[in-house]
Amino acid sequence: MLLWVFRAVFLLVLVGVLFINASSEELAKDVNSTSWWSVVISGLGMMLFFFLLEVFTPKKKLSALAGVFFALLVGLIISGVLAPAVDMIAGSYSIDLTTEAVFAIKWMLGICICFLIISIVMRTKDDVRFVIPYVEFAKQTKGARPLVLDTSVIIDGRIADLCQSKLFDAPLIVPRFVLNELQLIADSADKLKRSRGRRGLDILNRMQSDSIIDMEIDESVDPEAEDVKGVDQKLMVFTKSRNGRLATTDYNLSKVAQVREVDVVNINDLANSLKAVALPGETMKVKIVKPGEEAEQGIGYLADGTMVVVEGARNKIGRELIISVTSSLQTSAGKMIFGKFEGFAQETDNSRR
């Protein structure tokens, strides 16, 4: 939208300059004079040529606003260099042009060149550095980088507790398309999806009403994000454009984002890193709930959901045991603790009494 406003301003400015120069007394004395027609034809021709060239140039990423001022400076320099070409063409082909006509043509040429340079820089980002070394229009973000929330982390709900604990002091951003996806999930015919979507909307309402959490629903339309398909692809483009970090619980999305050089905060990895470390030789209490894959193995779970594999506990399902930790394994899916049976928790408590 901003680019089309700029295009409209360019057309209005150039038409105004053309009208003012064409209606001047020096050029209007003789309607059929060479100077008048040269100003009109060259002005309309340059306007049409540069406008179509800019419109049909392949779209690239939007640059920082500082690039506009740099492009304006470059456009003025190029206009000054090409201005003598107008005099050279008029002299080479013996075109009888007045001073006012040459001046008007130079003005319109400068406007067209500045428009084209500014438009190209607005639709590029780091490509400018490839052409002009040490010149880069990167967006500078003051303060903490924002966290962009995806659907999975909102439905998960732990992000709200983490923000309330003041572990994250960064602002939270929920893009408009993520909110639309949540609404579609909440309106789903599937009962499970519908409950998950409503849970996500309830968590959003809770975070919005919390004075500690700085959360914003981004209603702006990002042209770069709208051009791609799929919510995951839009999330990565949106996060890059905001120079933020993507918060998610989706393992596959985290890996794809890392490949595309998008910073990711995976809540599952964060939760695993905060779990207590079980050292070999330590004892703990665990209730066996099901048999393991190997013979004589029993499986239990700690309060935080960590799976515990106990040797010699296959026939002790439903009972609370005291185990001795032998080793632990940390994976992206979670943490596993391996131990061996030492005794029953109830008998140990009785002996202590």
In this structure, what CATH number is given to the domain that contains residue 306?
2.40.50
Q: What's the rounded Cα separation, in Å, for the pair 189 and 182?
A: 14
Cα torsion at 128, 130, 131, 132 (round to 10°)?
80
Tell me, yes or no, whether 185 lies in a domain.
yes
Last residue of a domain, one of 245, 273, 301: 273
Residue type (1 letter), 152: S
- Statement: residue 202 has pLDDT above 90: yes
CATH code of the domain in which 260 resides: 3.40.50.1010
pLDDT digits (tens, 9 = 90+) for 236-290: 888 888 888 999 988 888 888 888 888 898 888 887 777 667 788 888 889 999 9
Same-domain pairing of 268 and 287: no
Same-domain pairing of 110 and 67: yes
**Higher-scoring residue by pLDDT: 193, 93:** 193
Same-domain pairing of 7 and 125: yes
Last residue of a domain, one of 77, 105, 131: 131
Same-domain pairing of 109 and 38: yes
Same-domain pairing of 244 and 156: yes
Residue type (1 letter), 320: E
Residue found under tokens 């008048």: 36
Same-domain pairing of 189 and 244: yes
Cβ atoms of residues 24 and 98 within 8 Å: no
- Statement: residue 198 has pLDDT above 90: yes
Determine the straight-line distance between the first and last CA of the chain, rounded to whole angstroms: 77
- Statement: residue 337 has pLDDT above 50: yes
What pLDDT, on a 0 to 100 scale, did the predictor assign at position 53?
64
- Statement: residue 88 has pLDDT above 70: yes
Domain range for 343: 283-352
pLDDT digits (tens, 9 = 90+) for 13-67: 878 877 777 676 666 565 546 677 777 777 787 777 777 766 665 444 444 456 6
Tell me, yes or no, whether 278 lies in a domain.
no
Same-domain pairing of 309 and 241: no
Domains held by the chain: number: 3
Last residue of a domain, one of 131, 162, 196: 131
> In Å, how far are 16, 39, 51, 124 from 4, measured between CA atoms?
18, 26, 11, 16
* Across 83-97, 112-126, 183-197, 309-323, least confident range: 112-126
Same-domain pairing of 245 and 306: no
